[in-house]
Amino acid sequence: MSTSDICKICKDGASKSNDGDACDVNDMLQNLSTADDNGDVCANCGKEGDEINNVCNKCKMVKYCNAACKKKHRHKHKKQCEEHLRLAAERAAKLHDEKLFKQPPPTEEDCPICFLRIPTLHTGSTYKSCCGKVICSGCIHAPLYDNQGNIVDNNNKKCAFCRIPTPYTDEEGNERLKKRVEAGDAKSMHNIGCYYRDGLHGYPRDLPKALELFHRAGQLGYALAYNNIGYSYEMGIGGVEVDMKKAKHYYEQAAMKGCTCSRHNLGLIEIRAGNMDRALKHFMIAVRDGFAPSLNQIKELYGYGKATKEDYMKALQSYQEYLSEIKSDRRDKAAAADEELRYY
């Protein structure tokens, strides 16, 4: 992340554009200042005029004609300033939680072939660099048919959507991914980032380069990229030091975009902080999107008396609702034929 991406107000390293709410309190104060503006009047001497534009550096709520008046009025304004800051922080936190604990839409569109919801489990779908589509395991495993309804010999492993053969070599596959990156495809950026992180498919292991690609993909809206950035800060990898504040920030950005893994990680962070109610909210949202580990975590909380029976029953019901949206005979056949095509 370049220095241009550092917030100039709060200095905490969050991006100014799409990385979240680093400056919520400052934005709130600015909005309050605009809303409560009763004219340009110096709070110290009462002078009026267009030149009354020297504002309190902290709360932004009062104006002065010059720095001398600001200094003279500082002791009188201190309590009011602190109260403005407290109220703005409370309002910002409330607005942030409203966004954070809202059930997000699925991270992927429905399968373009069977039009069923894409499963959350990573083995339940595959990204195709040939056409940029995410196809479910059932449609990948199913036979292909021609226009007359005859089964097509698919020994070449053609894409179920665009019928282009799957690349045989890493070079072919990497070339396709690079073209997708040039077209602004966030998933391809994320995938290449994973290759740099793990040293796969001919890419050297380069953690800083991986983190750079994750940032690019995240700014384009790909939730899993933000999850990987959060994990980097949590574990101190990729050329960054351990920073749980930043890790939580990026997990939140990923969770609000629908990443169930980040949502689960936030629940674990809240458990460690002793915030069981907030942890349970995160796990419930993740369960509704099909993240089985969160269901198991709620079961454990129930066993320890940290969640009620009603909570656990609600979680089970939510998970069943998710399963009803993703289950199909075609996907069941794929899972039975190959463990790597399991979808729940």
pLDDT digits (tens, 9 = 90+) for 115-133: 999 999 999 999 999 999 9
First to last CA, the chain: 36
Q: Strand pairing partners for 158?
A: 165
Q: Who's near 27: CB < 8 A, 6+ residues apart?
A: 92
Q: Quick one: DSSP state of residue 40? A: S
Quick: pLDDT tens for 291-344. 999 999 999 999 999 999 999 999 999 999 999 999 999 999 999 999 999 999
User: Contact 267/286 with Cβ under 8 angstroms?
Assistant: yes
- Sites in the chain below the pLDDT cut of 70: 1-39, 153-156
Q: How far is CA 149 from CA 115, 146, 154, 163, in A?
A: 20, 5, 14, 15
Taking each helix axis from N to C terminus, what angle separates 260-272 and 292-303, rounded to the nearest 10 degrees?
Answer: 20
Q: How far apart are the C-alpha atoms of 257 and 251, rounded to whole Å? A: 10
Contact of 261 with 250, CB cutoff 8 Å: no
Structure tokens at 236: 């101190």
> Would you state the pLDDT for residue 196?
95
Residue 155: per-residue pLDDT = 58
262 near 254, Cβ under 8 Å? yes
State residue 239's pLDDT score: 84
Contact between residue 131 and residue 140 where contact means Cβ atoms under 8 Å apart? no
| Residue 149, pLDDT score | 73
State pTM to two decimals: 0.80
CA angle 59, 248, 238 (to 5 degrees): 120
pLDDT number for residue 13: 43
Structure letter (DSSP) for residue 108: S
Q: For 176-184, which contacts have Cβ atoms below 8 Å and span 24 or more sequence positions?
A: 176/129, 176/130, 177/129, 180/129, 180/132, 183/132, 184/220
Q: State the DSSP string of 243-256.
A: -HHHHHHHHHHHHH
Long-range contacts, stretch 42-46, CB < 8 angstroms, 24+ apart: 42/69, 43/69, 43/73, 43/77, 44/69, 44/70, 44/72, 44/73, 45/69
* Cα distances (angstroms) measured from residue 276 to each of 96, 283, 288, 298, 315: 18, 10, 18, 11, 15
